[in-house]
Structure 1
Amino acid sequence: MRLTRFQNKFVKKINISLWLAAIKPPIYTVAIIPITMGTIIAYRESGQLNWMIFSLFLLSGILIIAWLNLSNDVFDSETGIDVNKTTSVVNITGNKSLVFWVSNFCLAGAILALSAIGWLQQDWGVIGLVLLACFLGYTYQGPPFRLGYQGLGEIICFLCFGPIALSAAYYSQTQGFSWFLLVTSTIIGISTSLILFCSHFHQVEDDLAAGKRSPIVRLGTKTGANVLAGFTASIFILTIFWTILGYFPLSSLLIFLSLPSAYQLVRHVQTYHNQPQKVSNSKFIAVQFYCWSSCFLGLGLLIII
């Protein structure tokens, strides 16, 4: 009896761990941070902040990430690329149809929240921007496009969670656009794309078997690790560049406080790039760097020194 209870607790713990890994809670920062950064820039330039609009947009962003995660699991199950992926929601539930409809429900909820913003402001521009991002997000894994299988996922990620996401958040507060916003979005877009880039290192064999030409499949893990180091460094280089040109205030250099996290990411991937089990957590280290660098940059933009 004691052994049975222990086994039940052990199985329950494994199930919880699997579900947490499948749901990917840290990944939801890629919705929270761009929306927050776009709102910070809007506040910095206008001095006004509508909390109701911000809250509705944040809700829609979280629901869109849920839709992307679930629908991507569905689309990947159709190609067989996730056959060995224990953290696929489709594999855990064994019910692809249910996962598909839950994902669509999340998307419908996001559109409803965005519609509320449009109705409150009598301006539907923000919905157009977000629907554009959703369409590009669909092309990443969704048929007939599946552009992620051609190695274009990082470009899509950059556009969706950089310029488009920040512009939509900014527009929801100001009903306008800003060149300063686009400058900032380059840094957020690159740091977001690093998360996706890191997710490829541990699944090269599965990608090859499914015909997916991810950047790491094309480059190899060693070259990929060097490319990661270069793009990580570019975030700090661009910050200095935008500061020298006068786009960023001097306080934006607070982003350099995230250097330890950047070093941890680069060193980890450089060391374990060809060891799938050890490098598999690199995407979570990338999320950590993404959060720290974005938070310090956002703080610097608010201080304005």
Structure 2
Amino acid sequence: MAEPQVVASRYALWKAAMKWPMYSVAVMPALLASGWLQSQGLDPRWGQLGLFLLAAVLLLGWENLSNDVFDDDTGVDTIGKPHSLVALTGRRDRIAWIANSLLAGGLLLMALVALRSQPVVLLLVLICCALGYLYQGPPFRLGYRGLGEPLCWLAFGPFATAAALMALQPPTSLPAAVPWQVALSLGSGPALATTLVLFCSHFHQVEEDAAHGKRSPVVKLGTAKAAAVVPWLVAASLALQWLPVLERQWPSTALLSVIGLPAAAQLIRLLREHHHQPERVSGSKFLALRFQALSGLGLAIGLGIAPWLGR
């Protein structure tokens, strides 16, 4: 019979491998789009929202699992990531098959969403998937060149937000062209918060990344300089969310995104004091994720409730 400590440890590894909190980044573009539509006096198509959210979760599942597969190929997860699904199961082929199945399922659902709205929705989502593959997939592996963060911002910002806006709008008000201006205004700040999650995921594995040729921004900058960048990323994310309020383009209730600030403050303090201690900062990405989830959800709710409050 297995020792209780061993069982608990393995359970913890499987829990970490599932990455459930990470799926807030998948659903945020659609939640933001629904909030914005409500602020404009439009009723989002709730059936479309449900399909879009499910498809987004499946596609992020593909991204996470395929990243485990690709990182196993390069060996970067050998020491620093015992909760990799490939490491836990020892079945690279099976994890790759599951990842590809999630991709197929997600794209089929997105095709249905596009069929019920506009075909360009599927094209925008395919671009998001391509950006995700460029991040880690061979032969590109742009994440190993320090380009993962810009790719992340593009995918979860203008492209995913534009797709969600077009998918959720009522048929009578569908835009004739992709609403890039709204997508940039609405998605830029929250996508920067999502990018912060990826940025912070590098702090605890600098030595492993460098040893395997992964030149993440934290490897390039060093942990001290990278930690000093974090407050600026937080400030830029919130500024992009609050600027439309100051310009009277959005209702004042959009300032509800401020609920993410305490998590950001914790993150900044943790990295400022312990950036050079991998074991102390291994949870920094979850603080970044809390900031991303709370600030994005606050913005979505703030926009959505504005008509009810007469704002």
TM-score normalised to structure 1 length: 0.94
Partner of 2:103: 107
Partner of 1:241: 243
After the TM superposition, which segments of 4 or more aligned residues of structure 1 sit over 6 Å from their partners?
Answer: none
Q: Superposition pairs for residues 220-299 of structure 1, below 5 Å?
A: 220-299=222-301
- What is the one-letter code of the residue matched to 1:117? V
Shift of 1:186: 0.9
Please give the alpha-carbon distance, in whole angstroms, between the structure 2 residues aligned to 1:222 and 1:189: 24
Partner of 1:185: 187
Shift of 1:272: 1.2
Partner of 1:148: 143
- What is the one-letter code of the residue matched to 2:8? K
Shift of 1:159: 0.7
Match among 78, 83, 86 for residue 83 of structure 1: 78
Please give the alpha-carbon distance, in whole angstroms, between the structure 2 residues aligned to 1:28 and 1:258: 17
Shift of 1:62: 0.3
8 Å Cα contact 1:239/1:248 also seen in 2: no
Partner of 1:207: 209
Instruction: Tell me the secondary structure at the aligned position of residue 248 of structure 2.
Output: coil
8 Å Cα contact 1:180/1:247 also seen in 2: no
Match among 148, 160, 175 for residue 155 of structure 2: 160
Does 2:94 align with 1:117?
no
- What is the one-letter code of the residue matched to 2:222? G
**Deviating more after overlay: 263-272 vs 189-198:** 263-272
- What is the one-letter code of the residue matched to 1:203? Q
Deviation string 1:56-87 (CA, Å, 9 cap, x unpaired) is 11111000110000000100111111111201
Please give the alpha-carbon distance, in whole angstroms, between the structure 2 residues aligned to 1:92 and 1:111: 27
Partner of 2:129: 134
8 Å Cα contact 2:34/2:304 also seen in 1: no
Deviation string 1:31-77 (CA, Å, 9 cap, x unpaired) is 11122112222333351221211111111100011000000010011
Shift of 1:116: 1.7
Partner of 1:45: 40
**Deviating more after overlay: 138-147 vs 262-271:** 262-271
Partner of 1:194: 196
Match among 24, 32, 55 for residue 19 of structure 2: 24
Does 2:77 align with 1:92?
no
8 Å Cα contact 2:39/2:305 also seen in 1: no
Please give the alpha-carbon distance, in whole angstroms, between the structure 1 residues aligned to 2:41 and 2:154: 25
Please give the alpha-carbon distance, in whole angstroms, between the structure 2 residues aligned to 1:50 and 1:181: 18
Shift of 1:262: 1.3
8 Å Cα contact 2:68/2:85 also seen in 1: yes
Instruction: Tell me the secondary structure at the aligned position of residue 83 of structure 1.
Output: helix
Please give the alpha-carbon distance, in whole angstroms, between the structure 2 residues aligned to 1:291 and 1:157: 16
Please give the alpha-carbon distance, in whole angstroms, between the structure 2 residues aligned to 1:96 and 1:257: 40
**Deviating more after overlay: 38-47 vs 196-205:** 38-47
8 Å Cα contact 1:157/1:192 also seen in 2: yes
Higher relative contact order (CA 8 A, sep 6+): 2
TM-score normalised to structure 2 length: 0.92
Partner of 2:219: 217
List alignment gaps of at least 5 residues for structure 1: none
Shift of 1:287: 0.7
Instruction: Tell me the secondary structure at the aligned position of residue 214 of structure 2.
Output: coil
Does 2:38 align with 1:36?
no
8 Å Cα contact 1:38/1:168 also seen in 2: no
Percent of aligned positions that are identical: 41
- What is the one-letter code of the residue matched to 1:195? V
